[in-house]
């Protein structure tokens, strides 16, 4: 809980992030391909062949252009018509070129739909591939379930991934599978220092004198106590003054899935992961009638 | 239900017969911040010199281990309160914009509650007590005085010039109510604390009568410099001391070439006239939001073998400053965090900022981060040990600009690089040399943190960001006691005494906690 709170505090320091969450009223024309999965997939290939020489893949920052889907970053152009306009006419005073004449309006709208999807989370523009095959990779060859849980199945050492696609961007999921420091450097790209940190699942080894060390993931700590989920899947509660704590620098999460899986297996796994989501729940408070009331 | 009853009692008290009133007068000799009694906590920083050191010593390093919670009071409808409670004659006053709750400081029972509509939330940092009055900053640009005994409104004035006051606790000095704000730019105003009559204003924005300061903006109209923390006061020198905030545009310095006076300064103003006596600029030409809004602490002592009237400040920019407060003379600045790289060096007492660390579209790593090497949470000075305690934030940040154009907006992030992440420490310095004496790591705390309070009992109270209220040995930094309040603490603790019993209180999110030794005699 405190780790979550810490992140909430951090998010507040990104002074522009709030503005980003407020959707600007879109007075321009509607994107004819909004929420059209086939068109978004087409937008992805157009983006990958047209835009990634400057911008990074999957919304990360590239060699010359800023990231288009970076957590915590605010955007000058947020609406469909603003993004369309930037692609069609370029952006004066920057190296961003106009695509008018090179791409059709339909193609630009498709790229727009894809970029908009990237600014949501993975589930808004899920990665293409064989989802069922990806699920099999998750449980079998990938052995992801030895740490993670999805919809009640699996283990409790790492984060529950049941809602992963609603919480993370695609590039963040790919980084988690391929980069050792993904939790620190976020979605990756040529300008990693632009990125906000993600929640960490720090690994600790705690020794009570006279007993073998307990290794596991730190769920919480303060100046006086530690709460550790052990690799034995048991919760261990420690008094800091009575133990020796070693903080390990390396995450338990393997980062070589792009090497130990074939390209198809990897793509299918990402297709599965980017679709993991639970139905949205209503926000706000609710009063439940039926019990004895005070007045 | 409880409150309704209390309000009825309050009404009865207000219309009490003469006999009862005289009883009340016997009981309540009006506390005066000019003649402080350690049993009260009458101003934001406890006393005018802002040392935040309680002279109470019933709670000591030897017995603080037995400290226990005495009561908790919930401020309905609130969260993340930053207020310092004010205590006068056994009554505690907890404030928010538009609101004060008066509590029996022994029990936490509410005595009266003042709520001007609407219910407001925000970083309001306390009220002030003077001559049986309390002061309320409203969300609709008014300033009110309440009768401290029953919460009745004594006067209600519109803020001069129609400005909105910031959430800093008012300072009541020499019968003047001193308040400040941020918009349209930083300002300080004084009112007659008895009547609400407007007296004077001062702004860090230089006018035509100050051509040197005006010329320090490279032709741009001076802007920004918010003032959102209370100040300190030296009655002998007739001066009040305040910090000023960063210049605008905050992150883009190219349009305002020069030092940008009086941004990021410690200023001394004549309390009678509001005229600037002197200013010392901690961060010339700031592009990292290094507000100088950390409390200027007034201390008399020996500096390099000579008696000095000093002002001490641990600044957001990573340096601990000692100035002569009579004239603003720079005596020394000591780096107090591991990494400081926003400056190239010093020209005498003036730092030279390094343009290589200006914020950029790509992102520029700078130490300390914009969150600051320390920030508004109050420091404390122990006059017995000559130690200065404050919350230090180690680590660096990244400053990003949206565009390369002047007036570009941006945000800042924690540096993701190894060894540059944020970590809070309770840090003790030798006040007159700036040398570090000890450090206490606040595990998991990494941003701003609450303020501190030292006591004559040799105990330093050091709340932690995520709710631990910790007592440290003032001499060594060793943990003596702690209590998990269960929510975020961003306020500073206070101490007071009622009927011979010492209490320590702190606000944790929406709850006021008061602690004391077990009843049945403190041994």
pLDDT in tens, A41-65: 899 899 988 998 888 777 777 777 7
CB-closest option in A13, A185, A222 to B412: A13
The sign one gets for the Cα dihedral A268, A51, A73, B423 is positive
The reported pTM is 0.80
B289 is catalytic: yes
B20 in contact with chain A, both atoms CB, cutoff 8 A: no
How far, CA to CA in Å, does B516 sit from each of B479, B486, B496, B519, B520? 17, 19, 10, 8, 12
DSSP H or E stretch at residue A267 = helix A263-273
Residue A66's DSSP bridge partners are none
Q: What is the structure's pLDDT at B27? A: 47
CB contact under 8 A, B413 and A196: yes
What SS3 state is found at B63? coil
What SS3 state is found at B86? strand
Q: What is the structure's pLDDT at B5? A: 42
Distance, CA of B523 to CA of B516 (rounded, Å): 12
Q: What is the structure's pLDDT at B409? A: 66
What SS3 state is found at B171? strand
What SS3 state is found at A35? coil
Residue A154's DSSP bridge partners are A149
- Rounded to two decimals, the ipTM of the complex is 0.71
**Predicted confidence (pLDDT) per residue in B77-117, tens digit:** 998 899 999 999 999 999 999 999 999 999 999 999 999 99
Q: What is the structure's pLDDT at A200? A: 66
A-chain residues within 8 Å CB-CB of B484?
222
Question: Using DSSP, how many helices (H) and how many strands (E) does chain A show?
Answer: 11, 7
DSSP H or E stretch at residue B93 = strand B91-96
How far, CA to CA in Å, does A75 sit from each of A68, A72, A82, B259? 8, 10, 10, 31
Residue of B494, B390, B495, B401 lying closest to B448 (CA atoms):
B390
Indicate the pLDDT class of residue B291, thresholds 50, 70 and 90: very high
Q: Please tell me the least confidently modeled range out of A22-36, A124-138, B164-178.
A: A22-36
Structure tokens at B381: 């000075």
Prior bond to A110 cis, omega within 30? no
What SS3 state is found at B487? coil
Distance, CA of B379 to CA of B428 (rounded, Å): 10
Q: Residue A252 contacts by C-beta under 8 Å, 6 or more apart in sequence?
A: A147, A157, A158, A201, A203, A217
B27 in contact with chain A, both atoms CB, cutoff 8 A: no
The residue written with tokens 């803020």 in the block is: B159
Mutant choice from A3, A7, A9 vs B, greatest count of B C-beta within 10 A: A9
Distance, CA of A83 to CA of A63 (rounded, Å): 20
Phi, psi of B9 (to 5 degrees): -60, -40
A-chain residues within 8 Å CB-CB of B409?
15-16, 74
Average pLDDT of chain B to the nearest whole number? 92
Cβ-contact B158, B142 below 8 angstroms: yes
- If one counts every other C-beta atom within 10 angstroms of the C-beta of residue B394, the result is 24
Phi, psi of B461 (to 5 degrees): -90, 125
- If one counts every other C-beta atom within 10 angstroms of the C-beta of residue B15, the result is 8
């Amino acid at each position: 809980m405190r780790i979550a709170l810490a992140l909430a505090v951090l998010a507040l320091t990104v002074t522009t992030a709030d503005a980003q969450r407020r959707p600007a009223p879109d007075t321009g024309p509607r994107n004819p391909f909004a929420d059209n999965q086939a068109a978004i997939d087409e937008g992805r290939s157009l983006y990958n062949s047209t835009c990634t020489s400057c911008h990074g893949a999957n919304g990360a920052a590239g060699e010359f252009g800023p990231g288009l889907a970076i957590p915590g970053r605010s955007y000058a152009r947020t609406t469909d018509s603003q993004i369309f306009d930037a692609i069609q006419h370029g952006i004066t005073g920057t190296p961003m070129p106009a695509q008018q004449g090179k791409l059709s309006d339909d193609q630009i709208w498709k790229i727009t739909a894809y970029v908009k999807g990237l600014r949501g989370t993975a589930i808004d523009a899920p990665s293409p591939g064989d989802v069922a095959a990806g699920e099999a990779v998750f449980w079998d060859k990938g052995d992801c379930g030895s740490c993670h849980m999805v919809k009640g199945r699996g283990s409790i050492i790492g984060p529950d991934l049941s809602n992963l696609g609603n919480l993370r961007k695609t590039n963040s999921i790919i980084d988690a599978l391929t980069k050792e420091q993904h939790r620190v450097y976020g979605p990756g790209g040529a300008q990693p220092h632009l990125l906000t940190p993600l929640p960490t699942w720090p690994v600790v080894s705690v020794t009570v004198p006279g007993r073998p060390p307990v290794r596991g993931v730190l769920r919480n700590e303060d100046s006086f106590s530690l709460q550790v989920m052990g690799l034995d899947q048991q919760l261990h509660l420690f008094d800091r003054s009575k133990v020796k704590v070693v903080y390990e620098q390396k995450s338990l999460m393997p980062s070589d899935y792009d090497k130990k899986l074939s390209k198809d297996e990897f793509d299918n796994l990402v297709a599965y992961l980017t679709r993991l989501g639970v139905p949205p729940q209503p926000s706000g408070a609710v009063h439940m009638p039926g019990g004895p009331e005070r007045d | 239900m409880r409150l309704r009853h209390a309000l009825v009692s309050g009404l009865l008290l207000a219309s009490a017969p003469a006999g009862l009133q005289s009883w009340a007068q016997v009981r309540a000799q009006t506390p005066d911040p000019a003649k402080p009694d350690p049993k009260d906590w009458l101003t934001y920083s406890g006393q005018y010199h802002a040392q935040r050191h309680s002279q109470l010593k019933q709670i000591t390093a030897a017995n603080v281990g037995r400290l226990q919670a005495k009561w908790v009071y919930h401020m309905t409808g609130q969260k993340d309160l930053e207020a310092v409670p004010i205590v006068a004659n056994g009554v505690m006053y907890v404030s928010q914009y538009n609101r004060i709750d008066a509590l029996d400081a022994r029990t936490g029972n509410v005595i009266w509650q003042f709520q001007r509509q609407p219910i407001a939330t925000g970083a309001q940092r306390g009220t002030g007590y003077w001559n049986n009055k309390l002061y309320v900053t409203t969300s609709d640009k008014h300033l009110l005085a309440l009768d401290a005994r029953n919460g009745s409104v004594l006067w209600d004035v519109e803020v001069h010039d129609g400005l909105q006051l910031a959430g800093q606790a008012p300072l009541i000095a020499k019968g003047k109510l001193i308040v400040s704000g941020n918009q349209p730019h930083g300002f300080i105003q004084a009112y007659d604390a008895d009547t609400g009559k407007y007296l004077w204003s001062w702004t860090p924005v230089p006018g035509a009568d100050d051509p040197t300061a005006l010329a320090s903006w490279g032709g741009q109209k001076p802007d920004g410099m918010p003032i959102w923390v209370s100040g300190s006061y030296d009655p002998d020198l007739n001066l009040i001391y305040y910090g000023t905030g960063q210049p605008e545009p905050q992150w883009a310095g190219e349009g305002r070439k020069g030092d940008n006076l009086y941004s990021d300064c410690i200023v001394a103003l004549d309390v009678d006239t509001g005229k600037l006596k002197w200013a010392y600029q901690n961060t010339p030409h700031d592009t990292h939001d290094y507000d100088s809004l950390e409390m200027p602490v007034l201390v008399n002592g020996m500096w390099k073998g000579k008696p000095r009237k000093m002002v001490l400040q641990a600044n957001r920019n990573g340096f601990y400053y000692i100035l002569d407060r009579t004239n603003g003379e720079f005596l020394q600045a000591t780096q107090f965090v591991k990494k400081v790289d926003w400056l190239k060096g010093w020209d005498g007492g003036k730092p030279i900022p390094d343009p290589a660390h200006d914020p950029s579209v790509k992102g520029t790593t700078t130490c300390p981060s914009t969150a600051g090497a320390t920030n508004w949470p109050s420091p404390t000075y122990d006059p017995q040990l000559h130690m200065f305690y404050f919350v230090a934030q180690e680590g660096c940040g990244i400053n990003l600009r949206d565009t390369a154009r002047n007036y570009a907006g941006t945000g800042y992030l924690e540096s993701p690089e190894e060894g540059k992440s944020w970590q809070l420490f309770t840090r003790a310095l030798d006040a007159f040399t700036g040398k570090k004496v000890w450090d206490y790591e606040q595990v998991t705390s990494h941003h701003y943190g609450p303020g501190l309070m030292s006591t004559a009992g040799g105990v330093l109270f050091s709340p932690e960001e995520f709710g631990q209220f910790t007592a440290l040995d003032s001499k060594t930094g060793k943990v003596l006691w702690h209590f998990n309040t269960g929510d975020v603490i961003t306020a500073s603790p206070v101490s007071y005494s009622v009927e011979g019993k010492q209490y320590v209180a702190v606000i944790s999110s929406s709850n006021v906690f008061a602690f004391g030794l077990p009843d049945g005699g403190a041994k």
